[in-house]
Structure formats: structure tokens, C-alpha cells
Structure 1
Amino acid sequence: MSAKERILAKLGHSLAGTTPLADDYDEALLTEPWTYAPEQRIPRLRELLEAVHGETQLTTTTDWPARVVEALTARGIDELLISPDTPHGQQFASHLADQAKAIRLKAYDRPVEEWKDELFFNTPASLTGTLGGIAATGSLIMWPTTTEPRLMSLVPPLHIALLKASEVYDNLYTVLQAQSWAAGLPTNALLVSGPSKTADIQQTLAYGAHGPKELIVLILEDA
């Protein structure tokens, strides 16, 4: 028997002869203080994101690629990291082809060890989707996958994230229930509440020290 098995066995034996306590947990204590009228969710999320230097824009499911091009052009960026295997990656690539825009698309299509220097030092911007947003904290929900690895949202100086307006929830508990997280959690889940920020011992706040210096959230209204 391994050490782990011995520990688990002791824990199991320690329950012998005990009576389980009734689960009288009141979920309202966790959810009601952070519940909003439907029309308040997006304004609150935008307010909290913009309070920490995030940028938000309302757009539509058809117009968002043009907003991405505008953001890149305004910053003099001519290269974007995307996932060509996602619907939004394909939509953006199609938009560039139709508009003949001079933006080079880069795919995260190999192990990070094979292109670490290029990813960390020569990839100025990335585009990713999200799993939703949380109004209570002004957060984006992201589940990294092999299609859109975690470093896509954590490394490039500019991160552009797509968020469906219909997927903005009141609070994290509501998200867990609505999306059935208990049925299968990812290896890791990210809650992004603005650009990367840190403070030194003198409490001087700096952005971009350990991740994206800019975050643009395009909120896609269902039109």
C-alpha cells in the first residue's frame, strides 16, 4: 500500500460511527448580493474592466473583424496570433482575404519549445474567444485548450478577446451551474479581469510586467 493509499484509508476509517451533517447551505447567501437586472450586466462588466485600464467595445457578430483591424492599425501592428481552427479565427481570416488587409496571421501550431523566442519577443498581439463574462467582478472566463493554449492570452502585449453579450452572467456561481462545470473541469480555468498588473514595494502600479499590457474586449451583440 502506498503512502497515499494509507492516508486515504485512515481518513475513511476516521468516519466510522459518525453521522453526516445535513447540508443546509443557502446558495442565496452567495448569489443574491451579486445579482443584476439583465440590462445592468454588460454596463457593470464594462465599468469594472475599464476601471483597471481594460478597453471594451460593443459590436456585432458580423462587424467585429473590422474592429480588430482598426485596433491593430491604430497601434501600428501588422501581425496577429490566432487559432485558424476556431470559428472566429476562420471568420477573421476570411475578412482579411475579402478586404485585402496587410495583416499577417500567425498560428499557435507547434510546441512552445520550438518557437519560444518568437512567441515571447516577436508576437505583438493575439485574438482569442472566451467562455463568457462575470458582471460581479468584471471578469472574462477562459478555458485554455490545445486549439487556443493558455499562452495565447498571457504572453502577447495586446490581447483581443471576443465575448458574446448573451454569455455575460451575474456571478461565478451562476456560471458554474449554467455551464455544468462539475461535469468536467478543464486542466485550468482563467478569470481575466484586465491587463496584467503588478505593484512594487512602493505600491507603484505597473501594467504589462507579467503579461498583456493591453486588453481589448469586443462584446458581440447577437445581431
Structure 2
Amino acid sequence: MLTSRERILGKLRAAGARAPTLDTASMDHRIDLHYATWRPLAEATHEQRIDAFERALIAAHAEVWRASAATWVAEMARRIADAGVSRLLLDTQRAEGAALAAALPDTVEPLPFAQPIETWKRELFDTVEAGFTVARSGIAATGTLVIEPDRGSPRTMSLAPPLHIALVHADTLHRDLHEAARAERWREGMPTNLALVSGPSKTSDIQQTLAYGAHGPRRLWVVIVTDEGKTSTATPTEQRR
């Protein structure tokens, strides 16, 4: 007698055998046409894309400001100190993290995520006030940060501290999610983990009352680094390595 598992798997195999061949090229074309008919900011300029990204983030309760490549580090360090942050998670292996760590005043301790979370969970959740991450890109239509966690900047860095501080380079902004997936060629090498952040953590599950910080950071700061003030001749991608 067949077990329940065997019966279910048998039905799935039979259904798979009858399934028509998937024409992915045709499907991609239909998806492209669908987004082309309605997608926001279809003809937007670079500045309009930045404006839309900023408006959407502010509407989602984030705190946003713009800075040039030459000024963001000093301004960020000042804002962090003024906010009373004493311990900041960041990845010093990234150029942006190293620059920010060097600019922090003595009152702020830069912390790398250099040990398994099990060994310092209580310290992390009880004493670290903020985490700094660099977004892979951004989505202008929805004010969304596309963050790719890795060993130096795990997902915990943007999730556990009550304040999430994110940097996004203006030249990485896409119009919408569809353009982001196509431009970054996700299909050819889909990242194993992407976090899409559109504002601080919020929920209205309990009595339909909107509350911030229930499942993550209560506050989100975003600095949009513009092209102004660049002194390097390297490309934006090379500068971020």
C-alpha cells in the first residue's frame, strides 16, 4: 500500500509530466509589456528619480537627507553623535564603513559583526543602538532600499538595533522593481538573500493600531549620496568596492 507521501509525490510527478513546455522568452516579453504600460517614472530624469525616492521614504516615516560624496561622512558622524549613539555596528571592510568609523568621535564605538550571534546576543540587543549598511541599490517608485546581506553586514545589522542607518548611491536608483531585476540581471545570478526595506519596522496587527519597531528598527535614516563632489576618477562601482 502506498503511503500518503508516495501518493502525493506520484500526483506531482504525473502533473509535471503533463505540463506544457514553458516559453520563458515569451513570458519575459509579456512582463516587459505589462510594466511598460503603467510603471511609474517611465520618463523620469535622474533628479526626478531621486526626488521620488526621497518622497516615498519620507512618506514611510524614514528620515532622509542628501549629501555629496565629499561631505556625507562628516555629516553622518555628526548626526550619529548628536543622536546619542554610543555603539554602532558597521562593516569596516567596505570603503564606506571604514571611512565612517575613522570619522566617528570618541563617544561612539564602531563595532564589526565579527562573531557568531549566539556568543553576544544579549550584548547586541541590549547595548547596540544603531547599525550602518550600504544599499546595493534603490527603487525610486516605492522608496525601497535593496540590501544584500553578507558576512560583514548580515541581516541582523539592519534588523536588531533600534536605529538603522543606510547609505544609497544616487546612481544606483532604479525606477521600479522590474527595472532593478532586469538592470542588475538577477535572473543570471540571483543573490541568495536580498532585503527590501521601505521604511522603519511597523505593524498594525494588534487592535489595528500602527506601531513602529515591533519587528525591527523603530527609526530609519537614509543618506542619498549624490554625484556632486566626487574627486576620484574611478567609476561609481569601483569606488564602492
> TM range, normalised to the smaller chain?
0.7 to 0.9
Q: CA RMSD in A?
A: 2.2
Q: TM-score, normalised by structure 2?
A: 0.82
Question: Sequence identity of aligned pairs in percent?
Answer: 38
2:233: which partner in 1? none
Equivalent-residue separation in structure 2 for 1:19 and 1:75 (angstroms)? 57
2:58: which partner in 1? 50
Is the partner of 1:25 in helix, strand or coil? helix
Equivalent-residue separation in structure 1 for 2:21 and 2:147 (angstroms)? 40
Equivalent-residue separation in structure 2 for 1:182 and 1:20 (angstroms)? 16
2:221: which partner in 1? 216
Q: Does 1:202 align with 2:207?
A: yes
Q: Does 1:120 align with 2:128?
A: no
* Superposed CA offset, 1:145-192 (max 9, x none): 112100100110111100001111100010011111112222221110
1:87: which partner in 2? 95
Compared CA separation, residues 130 and 32, structure 1 to 2 (3 A):
farther
Compared CA separation, residues 5 and 191, structure 1 to 2 (3 A):
same
Q: TM-score, normalised by structure 1?
A: 0.88
Equivalent-residue separation in structure 1 for 2:36 and 2:125 (angstroms)? 39
The answer to which of 213-222 and 184-193 deviates more is: 184-193
**Counterparts of 1:26-65 in structure 2 under 5 Å?**
26-36=31-41, 37-38=44-45, 39-65=47-73
**Counterparts of 1:97-108 in structure 2 under 5 Å?**
101-108=106-113
**Aligned partners of 1:31 and 1:174 also within 8 Å:** no
The partner residue of 2:18 within 14, 17, 21 is: 14
Compared CA separation, residues 132 and 11, structure 1 to 2 (3 A):
same
Equivalent-residue separation in structure 1 for 2:82 and 2:171 (angstroms)? 29
* Superposed CA offset, 1:120-147 (max 9, x none): 1111001110011111111100111112
**Aligned partners of 1:31 and 1:173 also within 8 Å:** no
* Superposed CA offset, 1:95-135 (max 9, x none): 34xxx543211110011111111111111001110011111
Is the partner of 1:160 in helix, strand or coil? strand
Equivalent-residue separation in structure 2 for 1:213 and 1:113 (angstroms)? 23
Aligned residues: 217
Q: Which runs of 5+ in 1 are unaligned?
A: none
* Superposed CA offset, 1:58-116 (max 9, x none): 001221122222222222112211111111111112334xxx54321111001111111
**Aligned partners of 1:31 and 1:171 also within 8 Å:** no
1:137: which partner in 2? 142
2:168: which partner in 1? 163
| 1:212 counterpart letter in structure 2 | P
| 1:54 counterpart letter in structure 2 | A
Equivalent-residue separation in structure 2 for 1:20 and 1:50 (angstroms)? 41
Compared CA separation, residues 5 and 184, structure 1 to 2 (3 A):
farther
Equivalent-residue separation in structure 1 for 2:35 and 2:214 (angstroms)? 33
The partner residue of 1:185 within 182, 190, 201 is: 190
The answer to which of 20-29 and 168-177 deviates more is: 20-29
Equivalent-residue separation in structure 2 for 1:199 and 1:69 (angstroms)? 33
Compared CA separation, residues 65 and 111, structure 1 to 2 (3 A):
same
Equivalent-residue separation in structure 2 for 1:74 and 1:33 (angstroms)? 43
Q: Which runs of 5+ in 2 are unaligned?
A: 230-241
Compared CA separation, residues 214 and 20, structure 1 to 2 (3 A):
closer
Equivalent-residue separation in structure 2 for 1:200 and 1:219 (angstroms)? 32
**Aligned partners of 1:82 and 1:89 also within 8 Å:** yes
